[in-house]
Amino acid sequence: MQQPHVPTPGRATDATAPAGAEPAVPPAPEAARVLVVDDDATVAEVVAGYLGRAGYAVERAADGPTALTRAAARWPDLVVLDLMLPGMDGLEVCRRLRARAPVPVVMLTARGDEDDRILGLEVGADDYVTKPFSPRELVLRVRSVLRRTLPAADPRPLAAAGLAVDPGARRATRNGTELALTLREFDLLAFFLGHPGKVFSREDLMREVWGWEFGDLSTVTVHVRRLRGKVEDDPARPRLIQTVWGVGYRFGPSGREETG
């Protein structure tokens, strides 16, 4: 199994590191609970160490059944989950976690396994980091995902076309029925509802919803597809989240049906 990138001895890695060094990680605002699931003891130890020093309360599991047992005993605020686990793989663990509650999941995948990354997003992972990775980058990704779970600065409810979103309560409904959305799906729907009729490219959505200036744009495509499956009458012929060919996506019903 590929290892994370571990800083070499003597290399500056703290907040005073010179330009070009790994980014410094500010302390966690509160002791959020993070469950690290990886069968490689070295990877798990490095990840847990960095998260712990960043202020998180970390628990570890080396396989899927143990992870599910520990999550059931004390539900984590976020799970760092390796895709390649013995026996029950990370995809199945993610499915079972998501079936119980919308816990944020950051998945660890091998570099180049694009199909596996997309599968991870399809089953509900909120983000992924490819191996080998910088532990500091992983901590920053964890911080970014957890920040999205906090109450919105602007908690005004949003509603359109039978959909309603309460950002403060992190609750979304369709025709009065609550929707089971992942963290990113909720943020994506809230963003669309807040900007009806406007067209956004995948790059725009990655920046505004994910908070990333760059990344794998298939992440956006997968989340739009998943969201359509939950809010459209016919996801194959979407009328609410429309594809504007060559540009991106627009929210809001119009007189012309567009697919994509």
Burial grade of 122 (CB within 10 A; 0-12, 13-18, 19 or more):
middle
- Comparing CA positions, the residue from 141, 154, 66, 62 lying closest to residue 106 is 141
Residue 16 has what DSSP assignment?
T
Q: At the topology level of CATH, where does 158-251 sit?
A: Arc Repressor Mutant, subunit A (1.10.10)
The one-letter amino acid code at 207 reads R
Topology agreement, domain 33-147 and domain 158-251:
no
Query: What is the number of residues in the chain?
Result: 260
Query: How confident is the model at residue 28, as a pLDDT?
Result: 47
Helix (H) or strand (E) holding 171: strand 171-174
- Comparing CA positions, the residue from 107, 115, 98 lying closest to residue 131 is 107
Query: How confident is the model at residue 257, as a pLDDT?
Result: 38
pLDDT, tens digit only, all 260 positions of the chain: 444 544 333 333 332 233 344 444 444 445 789 999 999 999 999 999 999 999 999 999 999 999 999 999 999 999 999 988 988 999 999 989 988 877 889 988 875 566 776 777 777 788 888 888 888 889 988 988 887 776 555 577 888 989 999 988 888 999 999 998 888 899 899 999 999 999 999 999 988 888 776 667 888 998 999 999 999 999 999 999 999 998 999 998 653 434 34
Is residue 243 within 8 Å of residue 220, measured between CB atoms? no
Q: At the topology level of CATH, where does 33-147 sit?
A: Rossmann fold (3.40.50)
Residue extents of the structural domains in the chain: 33-147, 158-251
User: With the C-alpha atoms ordered 108, 113, 116, 121, is the resulting torsion angle positive or negative?
Assistant: positive
pTM for this model (two decimals): 0.62
